[in-house]
Every structure is written in C-alpha cells, then in structure tokens.
Structure 1
Amino acid sequence: MNRTTLPENAIAIIGMSGRFPGARTIEEFWDNLQAGRESITFFSEEELRASGISPTLIAHPDYVPAKGTMDDIDLFDADFFGFTPKEAEITDPQQRIFLESCWNALENAGYDPYTFQDSIGVYAGSGGSTYLLVNIASRPDLLTAVNGFQLMIGNDKDFLATRVSYKLNLRGPSITIQTACSTSLVAVHLACESLLRGECDMALAGGVSISIPNQAGYLYQEGAFNSPDGHCRAFDSEGKGFVSGSGVGVVVLKRLEQAIEDGDHIYALLRGTAVNNDGALKVGYTAPSIEGQTQVISEALSIASVPPESIGYVEAHGTGTVLGDPIEISALTQAFHSEDEIRNYCAIGSVKTNVGHLGAAAGVTGLIKTVLSLTHKQIPPSLHFNQPNPQINFAQSPFYVNTTLKRWEQPAGPLRAGVSSLGIGGTNAHAILEEAPQDLPEAPDLDRPYHLLALSARTPEALERLSLNLATYCTGKSAAPLSSIAYTLHAGRHAFPYRRTIVCRDVQEAIQRLAPSSSQAAIAPAQNAYSRIVFLFPGGGAQYTHMARNLYQHEPFFRELVDLCSSLLAQSLQLDIRRILFPTTEQHDSATQQLMSSIIGQPALFIIEYALARLLMEWGIQPEALFGYSLGEYVAACLAGVLTLKEALALVGMRGKLIQQLPHGNMLAVALPEAEVYALVDAELSLAAVNGPSLCVLAGTPERIERLNKELSTRGVQTRLLHVSHAYHSSLLEPILQPFHDYVARLPLKSPSIPYLSSLTGRWITSEQATDPTYWTNHLRYTVRFPEAIQELFQQDGQVLFEVGPGNTLSILARQYQNAESAQQTILSTLRSPRQELLNDEEILLSALGKFWAGGGVIDWKAFYKGRTVRRTPLPTYPFDYQSYWVNYAAMVEDLRLPKEPAVAPIAPQSLLLQEDEEGDTRSQLEDDDLIRTICAVWQEVLGIPNIQPTNDFFSLGGNSVIATQLIARLRDLFPIELPLSVLFDASTVTALAGVIEDKLIESLETAPEERV
C-alpha cells in the first residue's frame, strides 16, 4: 500500500493497554479469548463474608455470587505518578488504574509523553465511584480528617481525563465522557474526530469501570438486566441477562499518514465511527431502539466508504438480554441490507460472554478484542451459545454466531470488522475497523552490526524486573528485529534515573547480556547530567590502517564527512586518501607505510577525528570544552571556528609536507619525571612531551635516540620507541618554522567559539594566541604540556571526557590524574586501538554512548537514526513498584464508632505564655522541639508519609495547593493564630514553618500583656 492508496481519513490504532477479568495484560486477554475461557469468578460464602456482604443476602435463593473481577485493585505506584500516600489512598482506584493504563498504552505505542513535542488528547469515561460511596463515605474519621474538595477531585468522574493530562503532561483536549455502557466507544469516536480536525496529534481513548466491593455478587430479579446464573448467553435462547465485571482499556490513536511516517506499529485501522441517540421513539428511557442502532451502523459504514459485505466480523454489544439481543441483530441486518442479500457470511460475537459487562469500559474492551482478532487473523468463540434466541432470525440475516476459534480469511480485500456499543439512555456508537496495511515495508535490522539497548527505571528493583521482562520478550517467537527493539527503547521510553545499557549483535546476545549475571548488566546509579562535555583529540602516531572503517561502512553522516575531506585534499595530495585509510588486502602493507609519513598520516588522523567529533555532535553530544594533543589541537581549533574545515585541512597538509622534507627522526617515551629528563636534553635531544608525573617523550635523530635507549635500558629505566617518521616537537623542526609561520600568517584565523586547552601552554587558549601565527609555530616546535592541561580541566568535577580518535592513549594518561579530588570525571574511548584488531569500532563507540547515557547524558535519538528505516514495536511496559493504598469500609473496622483521641492534640494554652530571656527578648515558653514535633505529626497525618523530618519540604513530598489547604486548616485548629495559605510557599519546610508559627504566637500574645509572666 503506497501513500496514494491509503484510505482517506483513516485512524491508526498504534498502542493498547488493558486489564480485564482473568487478564492483567492484552496478551493474557487474547490467550483467554483464543481458548474460549470464561473469566467470571464465583465466590465462596467465606469470600463474600470477608467482603462484608450480609449473610442474609448471601443466603437469598436469588443471590448470584458471580462477577468479572480484576485482581489487585488496591495496588498502585504512588511515587511514580507523584501522589502522596494519603492522596493515593483516598483516590478512586478507577482513576489510579486508568492513569496507569494510559502510561502503559503510550509505552506500548512507543512514546514518552514527557518528550513528545506535539499534542496528545485524552477522551475517556468511568463508572461511578463506588469506592467513595462504600469505603470512604462509611468512614466518619476519614471524612473529618480529609478536605472535602480533595475527596471530590479524587473520586468524581469529571477529573478522570484531566488527571491523566496533568500527570503525564499532555496538552491536547482532555475530555471526560459519560454515556453509560457506550462511554468508551464514544470516547474513541470523539478522539478520532479530534484527530481528523487537527485538534491533537495523538489521542488516548478508553474507559474504566471498577465496582466495590470487588468480591460481591448480585440479587437476580426477573426481567432485569442481570443473568440468573452468572453467565452471559448472548443471542442464545437461554439468555436472560449479563453478569457485571470490572476492567479498563485504553487505545492510542493517530492519523494513518502520520503513523506511517513516524514508523509506528499499527495494530489496525479505524475506517469510520459514528455516534447518535435513540431519542424518544422507543418504549422507555432504558430500552434500545432498532431505528437508532440501524442509523448509527449505516452512518459508520458510509463514513468508512466500505460495503457491508466486506465486513467479516461484528463485535456486538451482546448483553444476552431477551429484548436487547433481537433488537441489535435486527438493526444490524437492516444496516447491512444489500441487493444481493447474502446470508450468514459475517461472524458475530460478544466479549461479554467471556468477561461480563464492563460498564463504561465495555466498548473499548470489545474494540481491543476485535483489533486483536484482526492482528492474529482469528475470530475467537462467543461463549454459551447453543440455540438462537427465538426472536432472532439468523437464517435470514448476514450473521452467524461464531462458537469456535476460527481462522479469519477474506476472499478479497483487507479484513474488516464492526464494533457496536449501546448505552442506557440511548447513546449508540459503532466503529468500522480494518486490518493494518499489509504492504508497508518491513523495518529491516539496521546496517549497524551492533545495537545499543538502553533501559531505565525509577528504582534499581524496577530496572532489574524491566531487564528480565525484556529478556523474556526476546525469547518469544514474535520478538521484533533488534533494530526496532533498540529504537523503541531510545525513542519511546522515558529516561529515569537508574539506567542500564548493553551493546549486542543479535537477539541471543541481548538475552545473555540482559541476564543479572552479565557484566554488562550492572545498574548505573542515579546521576545528574554531566557538568561539562569535553572532547580529547589524540596526536600523531595514533593512526593506523582501517581506523574507523566500521563507522565509514555503517554511519552515513561519518562517511559523508570523510568523503568531503578526501575530496578537499585530493588535489594537494594527488591521491584519494580513502584508499590508504581503508586499503584492500593487497594494498595493506603499502598503505601502512604511507600512513607513517607525515604528509599522509597527519591529514588522515585529522579527517577521522574531525568526522568522529562531528558525528557525536550530530547525535546531540555538544562539547563545551576541547583539548587536542599536538596535531589534535588542529581538530579542536577547527571545531572551535578558528579555522574553517578547508583551511584546517590545508594547514595540516602543509604541516605534513614541510615535516616530510626533513630528515627522519625518532621519539622515545621514557618512564622518568620531567626534572630528570631535562638532565638528558642536549643539542641533539629535545623534550617533545610531558605526559605524566613519570612519563616523558624525547625526540632527536635516530642515532641519538638509539644511544639514549641503550643508556636508559642499562639503568633499568623503562622506554618505548614510538612509531613515527620524524622527531616532532624538537629542534630538528627548526628549518621549517619560518615557512610554516609565513603560511599561517596568510590564514584569516578567528577567535575560538568553544573554549579549548592549549597543548603548548597547558592553559585555556586565548583569542590572541589562537589568531597568532607565532603561537602555531611554537606549537609545532616546543613541548606538549599534557599534565598542566588535564589538571586545568580537572578543576571542574562531574565532566565526561570523550577521547575522539583512535585508541585510548589520552584516556589512560588522563586517569593518572584522577585522585580523590577529581574522581568524578568520566573518561570514554570511542575507537579501538591498532592492538584491538578483534574489536569493532561500532561496538566501542556504542559502548561509550551507552555509558554516557547511563551516567545522565542526553542523546538526540532522532539524529542517531536519521536516514534509516526504523519502526516502533510493542515492548514490555514499565514494571511498577506497587504498594497497597486502600481505605477499608466501616463494616470491617469494628472500633470506628468508639470515640478516638485526635492524632495531634491542640497545644495547651499555658505553653503559649510569654517570658523574657536574658537579653530581654520576648519568646514563647513552647519549646522549639515540641513545636517541630507537632508540625511533623500534622504533616504525617495529612500527607500519609511516616517519619517526617524537620528539613523535609512540603512540595517535594508531593504536597499541592489542595493538600496545603487541609494542612493549614489543621494547623489553625491547633494554634490560635491567623495562618494564611501562602505561608507554605515561603516557609515550605517544617523548620521554616515552625519559625513562622512561633513568631505569630509571640505577636498575638504580646497584644495581651496580662497573659505575660
């Protein structure tokens, strides 16, 4: 399917989340549907009694002890969503679980709401808050202690959608919808309309219904909606109603064209949706209407521009009621009317036979079931159907009830389905679905040989669970390509403080390295962002053939820069330097010799370092300081804007040509401190570099270096002959200094825009130095001062240092200076050394990126994948750190009727009496410790957080304006003073607030001198 054949105004379903009876996840839900499993729970008498159900009611012959229950409705990760314990406890579990499901749905779609740049809308509805009516309202102690407004916003339906928008920072329309049983499918319709009108770029739509008590049945009444036996028998002759259930479902929607462009995983398409109301032309307010249902289905088909005969399945409202089922089939039959009058071609079913009627969540539950059916190309069985309701004439309709798991095949065109949801009060909704486009290009594994997987969580324990869940996912047959997994983790997950990264070649390696025993699986501690990013550029001698070859092969941006530099040098070098950088097997030895020459080696090293630095910068890693060792300083100067790329390449080329004209020289690294090395310097020997406390480099003629090497060896001094062609930074370079100076003098040097350290002085370069030809001439001739430069750099803690170039020489040298004072530096290598032939440059670079990100760094993942075909994929979602937050209702708390002492007693009046201290200042007799303890106790009572400390900040603990109102009111009860709400914004810690209260106590009592002692 190309863009010109995309269905007009189609909406893509790109994410889903849900919890249903018998299923905590979408995957478990589908397993149950496939297996034809009913997820209705029948309770024992003991379970019902434990839930507070009256024994008299339990014993009633018409009491049906059945319900579709959700497990663990008391659990919630309050910290994750920024709730205080008390706030979580008094918030309706419908609101909490819906919020959690919205987060899961966005993660399932591969989006981080905090970094998504466009608007996300929320359209949703819930059932009434039975938690408020049954649990909270039965607790007079709680009603007295908690602000009524806070109870309202935690339990009223109005705040369902806006709470999600607030907690997840969503800026699109946020609308709570209430149309009884059709609520969540109406929410889907309105979300689609909002997307098509451009009101938002992505939308969450769904609903939730959780009734309290969780373990409770119902009293069957003849002619009512509920089933007499706890089973929903949709369309069956024995169908007499449904059983209620609890559940939540959320879908993530986006315009199809945008979803394809963004590389989203597309579950299915919404081709058309419609909503209407029956009006007054029906038997009663709660009765359904054939006309209204027919009209809404016909309208949805018309909007979708698809013929009825292309629909292969309809997920019906299907409540199993004597009146409702025949009306629904009659309406569908009329809406599907065609001249051909094809019979029994369209399967029909109802998810209510599996999980019960989920109220406000019923429509989205049926939608999710149908989407899963389209995805798996299977129609699951509708349960409990034996003989049709005698009022339904299936034989003369397009429909048949599907009672077995059936492979879904369509003779021509894509698979399509309809979903109906009908609400008490007459608001009807219908949606036409279509399978996802089948001819979109598959997202191949990127041409990168390695992939970086990045995981994070708010706690180490959650990170461990997340890693194990991902490893389990990777073992499954349906695991996505590793590139899609990596991309989704990068682009679609929020970066939390605790982080872990692994670099791997394939899924099997990912599974191994995600294991807890893997050395790559170590959890990084929470860190703040680095104080400064620094690039270090190695000098001459670091180059070797095939350096960065893997990057040249697999990173287009890097390759473009190398190609550009090569073309700029082609005329002056009279060759293509890439043939020497990346030679064939036959050319390898020759290329190695050429790279040893200054005329080739120096430009080659510059090109690789420059291209690698620009690649890191392209990925969002912007250096705030630079240091180049010898030749590396030219790269630093170029990045800082002192030289343009063309000028820098020309200067490096000239430098190499001039040096190449000189006689050969050698350089010797010696393990001696600078003071001892100076004693060895003479007319033939120069101190070329100081690299460490006991590591220097001497340069001179080959003969003089050879003699020195023998002398030092006899003294037991460690030495190493460097692989260079000339004696850099020595007196042997003096014949070329003047022509070099003259060349630099012709260049329009500019002041640096990025600070960098001089390898000549070891100090920050000045504008005067950077633009002075004499500086660059001296830089060529005199000693490299590495210790001074790195010590200057290490005066700031918390930096990350990237060695941008081949090998890890500078990294090793820098670590010599990491003492207790400078231990907060992170030093990372980005390319292999020539001795690491078995390693891959891509693996080393990705490992450096991973360590940078794990330490708090930010990477521009969009740029990281620029120009590549990538696709988001559904992955395991965040493993919340659950705790129970629950208010037991009064029937379970025997002592509620007994009088209780208040948690915090009022302050005794005598403690407020004033006295004068030795200096004559007036103060209260109330001890500071008593005051602070009292305030701590009030905070603990209001926030629900134990062990409040004097230094705790009210807002950091999760306090807000509503809770602040309750807190101030409680303090006013304890202290006879005027205490404005605004005081908390200026005195937000316990200690600060205590100071304000004491001052106000003194102020109030000073006005009553007769009270003074």
Structure 2
Amino acid sequence: MNETTGTVHGSADEAVAVVGMAGRFPGAADTREFWRGLVDGVESVRRFSDTELASAGVPPERIASPTRVPRGADLADADLFDAGFFGITQRDAKLMDPQHRVFLTCAWQALEDAGLAPHAAGGPVGVFASTSLSTYLLANVLRSSEYADAALSYPVLLGNDKDFLATRVSYKLDLRGPSMSVQSACSSSLTAVHLACRALARGEVRAALAGGVSITFPQTSGYEYQEGGILSRDGHCRVFDASAAGTVKGNGCGVVVLKRLADALEDGDRIYAVVRGTAVNNDGSDKIGFTAPGPQGQQAVIREALEASGVPTSDIGYIETHGTGTAVGDPLELHALSAAYRAAGGPAPDCLIGSVKANVGHLDAAAGVTGLIKAALALYHQTVPRQINYDAPNPQLRLDRQPFDVPTESVPYPRATPLRAAAVSSFGLGGTNAHAVLQAPPAPTVPAAPAGATTAAEGTRGVRYPVVLSARDGAALAETARALRALVDGATPPAVRDIAYTLVTGRALLPVRHVFEAGNLEELRAGLDAAAAGDLSPAGPADEGWAHGPALKVDLPGHPLRPERHWIEPDTRTATPTTPT
C-alpha cells in the first residue's frame, strides 16, 4: 500500500501561482525560445560529429563501434558564467560545477521574470533545488593535475557537492527562507515544487524558487546502446510511438517562482498558471525491482493530487506525462494514468497527452520542472504543442480504449472552449512519484486600491511616476536603458505606471542607480535616452518605494550579464557514461 503526501491548494487562499520562470534548454537560451521550439515541433537532440566525439574523449574504436550512438541534446555555452556579477572569484568559478553556475543564473533571471526583488518581497523567500551528480568534478576537476588529489577539499566540495546548490543561491541572492537540495532522481525538481507549495501553504515563506539542473560532461560523447536498456537505439526519443525504444540524455535547467495566489493577485503579479494540487509518494516494494516503474504507486499519487486540487477532472485537457519513450514504461504509465483519471470521473473530452523528452531529451533532475514549465506555458498561451517523433501508437498503449489523444499538430484553444487545466507527472528511478494539477491563470486585473487610497488614470496631468534604473555599473545601466527604450518603442508598450511599478518593486538594488520621473511614454523615452547616453544629472528624486496606487507587474528586460569562460581542462580525458534516471 502506498502512502501519499498531498498538498491541498483547492481554495483561492491556498492556491499557488507560478509568477516567474527561467531556464536554459537544448536549442533554447530561455523559456521563450523553448516555447517556440515546442510549438514548432523542434527536436533539439542532434548527431555529434566524429571530431566532437573524439574531443569528448571517446576512443577511435568506440567511435567506430556499431553500438555507439553519437547523439544527445547538449546545452550551449555551459562553460560560460558571469562570475563578477555574482561576486565569485575566478578561481572559485573555475572549480564550481557548471550545473551550480547555470542554476544560480537561472534563479536570478526567474526572480527578474517574476518582478520579485528580495528587498521588496514582503517576507522570506525559499529555495528548493535539485541537481544531478557532478560529472564536471569527475571528468574535469579530478582529472587535472592541480586538483587530482583534492576531492575532499573544501573549495572542491563547496563548488560541486549537491548540498550547496540551494544554499549558494540563498546566499548570493540574499534569500532568507528555507533553502534545501531535493533529490529523488528524475522526479527531484517536481518534488521540489511540491515542497515549495507546502512551505507556502504553511506560511513559512512569502515566495519560493523551485527547480532543477542537469548537465553531464562531456556533453558530446554519445552513449553505448544496450539491448533492453533505457537509452534509445537510434538516438531519438519516440514517446507513445510503435517504434519507441528508449530515451536520450538531455542537458538543461529550469526554475519557477511560486507565490500564494492571493498574494500574487494583491501584488499585481503576472501569473502563468495556478498550482491547485500536488502529491508525492513512493512505490515501496510493490514492483518487480528497485529501478522498475510502479504502476500502483503512480496511480495513487495521481489520484491524491487530483483530490487535493479540487479541480474537476473534466476540466483537465492536457497532461504532460513522464513519457520516457520506452516500450515498457510508456504503456505502464498510461494505463496507471487512465485508471486514476477514470476513477476520478475522467478527463476532459479529447484530453491530450505529451512529453517534452522527445524535444529536449531526458533532463534527469530538471525533467519534472521542465514538464511543469511546458504545461504552465500551454495554459498561459492556450496552446498545446505537437508531439514530435510520433507516427503510429504503440499497440501496448491501447490508445483506442484510453480517454487520451496524442496531438500531431500544435492545438490552439478558442476563447469559447479554453484549456482550463493541465497536469504534470514525474516519476523517479527508485520509486518517488510526483504529480501536479494546474489551472489556467486568471485574467490580469489591477489590484483593488487600499481603503482611502486614490489613484489616477494614465496620462492624467501632474501624475508622474518614479522610474528607477539599477545596475552593476554605468555601462550596464546604459544598456538597461537602451533595452527598455526598445520595449517602449514596440507595437504595444506597457503602461508607464506598470513599467515604473515593476522597476521599483521588482528589481534588486544594485550599486549604480538613477531615478527620473515620467508621466507618459514621451517623457519615459526622453529619460531613457538620457540615461543611455550617460546623462545622469540632475539626479531624480530618491527612491522611497512605491506610493502611487495599484499597478501590474509587466515583462521587462533583465539586467545584462557578461558571461566568460570558466573551465578546468582535464589532463587525461575519458568519456563519462550517461545514464538518465
């Protein structure tokens, strides 16, 4: 029997809003590129050249081996990092696992996307983070002559051990809530989301960062195919397909920012989706082996999340499955999914299912949050992306008897029949299962003004808003001003009030600051042009926070980063095996 821990978010007071996100994925430098790739049906798994394989340390005889599969989904620029921005020395940056560097950067960018500045968060911010084993430590650091015998030294441990992933983010970004690494194989990051939701429900935090990262080095070594193993024989992940034969390792990072829905609405946050219920359990010994999937456990965790959510299953029109593309795992998962949803009343008619692993590979510790980001964006954009590498259904799925369908083209939803809710599954090797139920975001509405407060309409004569620019140095401030100028020159620029509100309450206070006032777009453009040109005098009014009534957080350009290469080359190189979990 499985015991499941569920988090109830069914009421408006307990629901959790996804208010920010950031990520880096194969073929996508951010979540916008990631979403476009999904909608366009892009497969970011690629073939590695013999030169890339050799550079990764694969011996010539293995390159020529018929069992060598020279494919994978690598992450561009994983060796680059803006150490100076985060106050990290060159030496420590080189020693640090790129997984930690990428996660720290994405955490910062997710807070920017959420318009959440630690000094203005209104309470503690927690961090719940997951990462894979540090193959950089094994393949690079310990294979260099300088650090060959330094595996247990503090500089090496602090830069590479899983224990320090979340706490480094809290330290560098000045976040005061609970900070912990969450590890349950490839269900880790969705389990991290579950724990973050529980912390929010208990009132431990005002907001939380949750996510995961997985980058295996060397990235371009490919892998050895083994009959009956989890890895694909042809280097493609064909989820639900009749020719499904395994998954492919992917590399990437995803982070979401979560707040209680009531707080997000009060703060005027941009909401991607609403988490209504999450659940986590373990299969226990109710399966044929430690690494085998447990259908009973999967079914139990799905039912618990559905019950916790309070969302009618008939509203759920899309489910992002764990979907590894294995001939055995996919049918077991789908049958458990079908049983759980039918027991709860059945999903929406023509409910669609998919798996992002076909696009970007299996992201291990980052797999669950990547699925969550995809589902949240599907609700936000009211579109379900097409499932690639799917031609004919695996007969073992018995799709003709299931209440689900696989979209072969991206499906936009009309306003008359919107996509109301979606769900996400993530199942870890070793039996820890996670499921989450999401609802579409509420329509953006300016928060109600406090009792006795007065507000003025945009453009009202005499109403001027403080525009606060904050950056690491003068050059970065000028670049920030130019990026904002480009935004307001767009076809549908945000309101000046909302831009000012987001800058005041949603950006960290960095060393170089400039403040000016603007009451309309013309004044805003003039002030930004002056800042971009370096004309920062006369100084504007001091930054005293926001005192101009309710406003909305809007999507603004983030602080410019200057990534540089920080890398330890091994003296001896041997390709590290890659086995997704």
Q: Aligned in 2, Cα 1:466/1:185: closer, same or farther, shift over 3 Å?
A: same
- Write the distance in 2 (CA, Å) between the matches of 1:343 and 1:271: 17
Q: 1:431 aligns to what?
A: 436
Which of 220, 226, 242 is 1:215 aligned to? Answer: 220
Partner residue of 1:348? 353
* C-alpha distance 506-34 of structure 1, shift in aligned 2 (>3 A): farther
Cα distance in 1 for partners of 2:486, 2:476 equals 15
Give the CA deviation at 1:53: 2.4
Q: Which amino acid aligns with 2:61?
A: T
Equivalent position to 2:265, from 260, 265, 275: 260
> Contact 1:136–1:142 (CA<8 Å) still a contact in 2?
yes
Deviations 1:274-293 (A, max 9, x none): 00011111111111111111
> What's the counterpart of residue 63 of structure 1?
68
- Structure 1, unaligned stretches of length 5 or more? 526-825, 829-850, 894-1013
8 A Cα contact 1:445 1:484, kept in partner:
no
**Alignment-derived partner of residue 482 in structure 1:** 496
Contact 2:132-2:365 at 8 Å conserved across structures: yes
SS at match of 1:250: strand
Structure 2 distance, partners of 1:247, 1:58, is 25
Distance 1:8 1:116, change over 3 A: closer
For the residue of structure 2 that corresponds to 1:293, the secondary structure is: helix
1:495 pairs with one of 489, 509, 532: 509
Whether contact under 8 Å (2:413, 2:419) holds in the other structure is no
Equivalent residue, structure 2, for 1:769: none
- For the pair 1:876 / 2:560, whether they are aligned, the reply is no
Q: What's the counterpart of residue 544 of structure 2?
A: 860
SS at match of 1:861: coil
1:411-430 → structure 2 map (5 Å cutoff):
415-430=420-435
Match of 1:523 among 534, 548, 551: 534
Cα distance in 2 for residues equivalent to 1:219 and 1:323: 20
Is 486-495 or 325-334 further displaced after alignment? 486-495
Q: 1:389 to 1:79 in 2, by over 3 A?
A: same
2:315 corresponds to which residue? 310
Q: How far apart are residue 464 of structure 1 and its match? A: 3.3
SS in 1 for 2:146: helix
Matched with 1:848 is none
User: Which of 280, 285, 296 is matched with 1:275 structurally?
Assistant: 280
Deviation per CA, 1:829-850, whole angstroms, max 9, x where unpaired? xxxxxxxxxxxxxxxxxxxxxx
**8 Å contact from structure 1 (residues 501, 521) kept in 2:** no
The residue aligned with 1:360 is 365
Partner of 1:886: 567
Taking a change above 3 Å as real, the CA distance of residues 465 and 47 of structure 1, as seen in their structure-2 partners, is farther
Can you list the C-alpha shifts for 1:41-70, whole angstroms capped at 9, x where unaligned? 321111222233222221111211111111
Q: 1:277 to 1:509 in 2, by over 3 A?
A: same
**Which whole-Å deviations, capped at 9, do the CAs of 1:167-205 have from their partners, x for residues lacking one?**
111111111110001000000000000110111111110
Q: Give 1 or 2 for the bigger CA radius of gyration.
A: 1
SS of the residue corresponding to residue 234 of structure 1 reads coil
Distance (Å, rounded) in 1 between the aligned partners of 2:268 and 2:42: 35
Unpaired runs of 5+ in structure 2?
Answer: 1-9, 449-456, 575-581
1:546 is matched with none
Q: Which amino acid aligns with 1:482?
A: V
| CA distance 1:465–1:68, shift in 2 (3 Å) | farther
Superposed CA RMSD in Å reads 2.5
2:107 alignment counterpart: 102
Where does residue 896 of structure 1 map in the other structure? Answer: none
Mean Cα displacement is larger for which, 79-88 or 479-488? Answer: 479-488
Distance 1:114 1:450, change over 3 A: closer
CA distance in 2 between partners of 1:378 and 1:343 (Å): 15
Offset of residue 513 of structure 1: 5.5
**Deviation at 1:310?**
1.1
Aligned to 1:9: 14
Q: Does 1:178 align with 2:189?
A: no
Q: Does 1:463 align with 2:477?
A: yes
Match of 2:3 in 1: none
Deviation at 1:490? Answer: 1.3
Inter-CA distance 523–343: structure 2 relative to 1 (3 Å threshold): closer
Change (3 A) 1:131 1:415: same
Deviation at 1:412, TM superposition (A): 6.5
Match of 1:205 among 187, 210, 220: 210
Deviations 1:297-345 (A, max 9, x none): 1111100012211100001111100111001110110011159767852
| Contact 2:80 2:566 (8 Å CA) reproduced | yes
Give 2:560's aligned amino acid.
Answer: P
2:578 maps to what in 1?
none
Single out whichever of 72-81 and 13-22 deviates more from structure 2: 72-81
Is the contact made by 1:354 and 1:383 (CA closer than 8 Å) also made in structure 2? yes
CA contact (8 A) 2:187 2:427 kept: yes
Change in CA separation of 1:410 and 1:304 when aligned onto 2, cut-off 3 Å: farther
Larger deviation, residues 179-188 vs 217-226: 217-226
How far the C-alpha of 1:502 sits from its partner, in A, is: 5.4
1:191 to 193, 196, 199: 196
Shift of 1:454: 2.5
Name the SS of the counterpart of 1:890 in structure 2.
coil
More helix by share: 1
The aligned residue for residue 42 of structure 1 is: 47
Aligned length: 556
Q: Deviations over 1:911-965 (max 9, x none)?
A: xxxxxxxxxxxxxxxxxxxxxxxxxxxxxxxxxxxxxxxxxxxxxxxxxxxxxxx
The 8 Å contact of residues 473 and 479 in structure 1, kept in 2 or not, is answered as: yes
Call closer, same or farther: CA 1:507–1:77 in 2, change over 3 Å. same
Q: Which among 313, 338, 341 is matched to residue 336 of structure 1?
A: 341
- Secondary structure at the residue paired with 1:348? strand
CA contact (8 A) 2:12 2:262 kept: no
Amino acid at match of 2:551: V
Q: In structure 1, how many angstroms separate the alpha carbons of the residues matched to 2:384 and 2:45?
A: 21
How far 1:146 sits from its partner (Å)?
9.1
Query: Structure 1 residue 474: deviation in Å?
Result: 3.2
The CA distance in 2 between the partners of 1:240 and 1:116, in whole Å, is 47
Partner of 2:140, secondary structure, is helix
Q: Secondary structure at the match of 1:312?
A: strand
Are the equivalent residues in 1 in contact too, given 2:474–2:534 (CA < 8 A)? yes
Inter-CA distance 117–228: structure 2 relative to 1 (3 Å threshold):
same
SS of the residue 1:137 aligns to: helix
Q: Label 1:497 to 1:47 Cα distance change in 2 as closer, same or farther (>3 A).
A: same
| TM alignment of 1:498-897, pairs within 5 A | 498-501=512-515, 503-507=517-521, 510=524, 514=528, 518-523=529-534, 851-852=539-540, 858-862=542-546, 864-865=547-548, 868-891=549-572
Distance in 1, Cα, partners of 2:520 & 2:395:
59
Letter in 1 for 2:561: F
Q: Between 164-173 and 404-413, report the one with greater CA deviation.
A: 404-413
Report the AA paired with residue 262 of structure 2.
E
Q: Which residue of 1 aligns with 2:451?
A: none
C-alpha distance in 1, partners of 2:471/2:486? Answer: 18
Closer, same or farther: CA 320–339 of 1 in aligned 2, 3 Å: closer
Amino acid at match of 1:50: S
- 1:175 partner SS: strand
Map 1:915-994 to 2 at 5 A: none
Query: Partner amino acid for 1:493?
Result: R
AA of the residue aligned to 2:49: S
Task: State the AA in 2 paired with 1:488.
Answer: T
- Tell me, in whole angstroms, the C-alpha distance in 2 between the residues paired with 1:267 and 1:521: 32
The answer to whether structure 1 residue 229 and structure 2 residue 243 are counterparts is no
Change in Cα spacing, 1:888 to 1:102, as seen in structure 2 (3 Å) is: same
Distance change >3 Å, CA 41–CA 502, structure 1 → 2: farther
Q: Could you say what secondary structure the match of 2:128 adopts?
A: strand
